[in-house]
Amino acid sequence: MIESRSDKVFSVVVYVLLSIFGLSIILPFFNLLATSLSDPVAVSNGMISFLPVRFTTGAYRFVINNTQFWNGFRTTVIVTGVGTLGSLVVTTLAAYPLSIKKFRGRKFFLILFIITMLFNGGLIPNYILITALGLQDSLGALILPGLISTYNMLLIKNYFETLPESLYESAKIDGAGELRIFVSIVLPLSLPTLATIALFYAVGYWNAYFNGMLYISTPSKMPLQTYLQTLLNMAYIPAHELPPEVANSLSTDSIRAASIFTATLPILILYPFLQRFFVKGLVLGSDK
């Protein structure tokens, strides 16, 4: 198929815009990495662009020796793993009955879910609820509030509705119940969409910091992003918190950059493994 001149111009414009957009995302990471690997004097003087100046790994030695960072990392890994798995279970269990047209009360329950997308109880009611449930200063306070997203549930529901009804009818003729159909037929056919939703939930849990500020008072239970938020708000890092061998050779900006880059790395590593499911799952889940 021969492209017309207008199509070629359109393609060039799209590629240029996407390239600019991609660079606007990638270049800050290069600057962050360069800052974390540069001499503190160069960092303080604003000499860093996208390459390290007077290479040093002192900031990463601080991160490796920082107990609070690794406590937060452990908490965030647990919350992300348990929260993502729990969210997938709850979301799919909510989406499956709502995808069945013969389910009584389907429209009523669907409206209830959609209302939560438009109205929120607010900060104070949520805090009172978490406190009343006895979840204050526990990992449950970091997991349960984000256990289900109505948007993600609707994506999965829409995909379930695209599955042919003949699959359900054949399974019922063979004697399969709803649970068996759901586990053995629906879920295996929904892996691309589930992988996409899992990525959404994992990124959400990994980046969450506000619940840690509200509900966690024990420093060892503080999630990583809450610790990083505290670190970013500090004008300087007290000398007694730095390892003696690097206390005089680090800048606060280098430590922040190294901590942020290290915290971002797991999601950057995870994403390529789920990328092949991402576009397919998102398109299938939003198709109706």
Per-residue pLDDT tens digits for 240-273: 555 554 555 567 788 888 888 888 888 888 777 7
pLDDT band at 74; cut points 50, 70, 90:
very high
Q: What is the pLDDT of residue 276?
A: 65
Q: What is the pLDDT of residue 285?
A: 45
Does residue 214 contact residue 136 with C-beta atoms inside 8 Å? no
In this structure, the answer to whether residues 221 and 247 fall within a common structural domain is yes
In this structure, the answer to whether residues 203 and 135 fall within a common structural domain is yes
In this structure, the answer to whether residues 8 and 109 fall within a common structural domain is no
Using only the alpha carbons of the chain, give its radius of gyration.
24
In this structure, the answer to whether residues 84 and 126 fall within a common structural domain is yes
**Parent domain of 259:** 60-286
Boundary (domain end) residue, out of 31, 56, 81:
56
Tell me, what CATH number does 231's domain have?
1.10.3720.10
In this structure, the answer to whether residues 170 and 267 fall within a common structural domain is yes
% of the chain residues with pLDDT over 70:
88
Inform me whether the pLDDT recorded for 27 exceeds 50.
yes
Residue the block writes with tokens 């397919």: 280
Boundary (domain end) residue, out of 56, 80, 102:
56
Q: What is the pLDDT of residue 275?
A: 66
Inform me whether the pLDDT recorded for 287 exceeds 70.
no
Q: What is the pLDDT of residue 117?
A: 85
* 0.75 exceeded by pTM: yes
pLDDT band at 90; cut points 50, 70, 90:
very high
In the numeric block, which tokens belong to residue 284?
Answer: 């299938």
Q: What is the pLDDT of residue 286?
A: 43
Q: What is the pLDDT of residue 162?
A: 86
Q: What is the pLDDT of residue 2?
A: 63
Average pLDDT of 268-279? 69
In this structure, the answer to whether residues 46 and 122 fall within a common structural domain is no
Q: State CA 200 to chain mean position distance.
A: 5
Measured distance CA(271)–CA(196) in Å, rounded: 10
In this structure, the answer to whether residues 201 and 233 fall within a common structural domain is yes
Measured distance CA(79)–CA(71) in Å, rounded: 12
pLDDT band at 280; cut points 50, 70, 90:
low
In this structure, the answer to whether residues 44 and 92 fall within a common structural domain is no
Q: Which has the minimum average pLDDT: 72-76, 122-126, 201-205?
A: 122-126
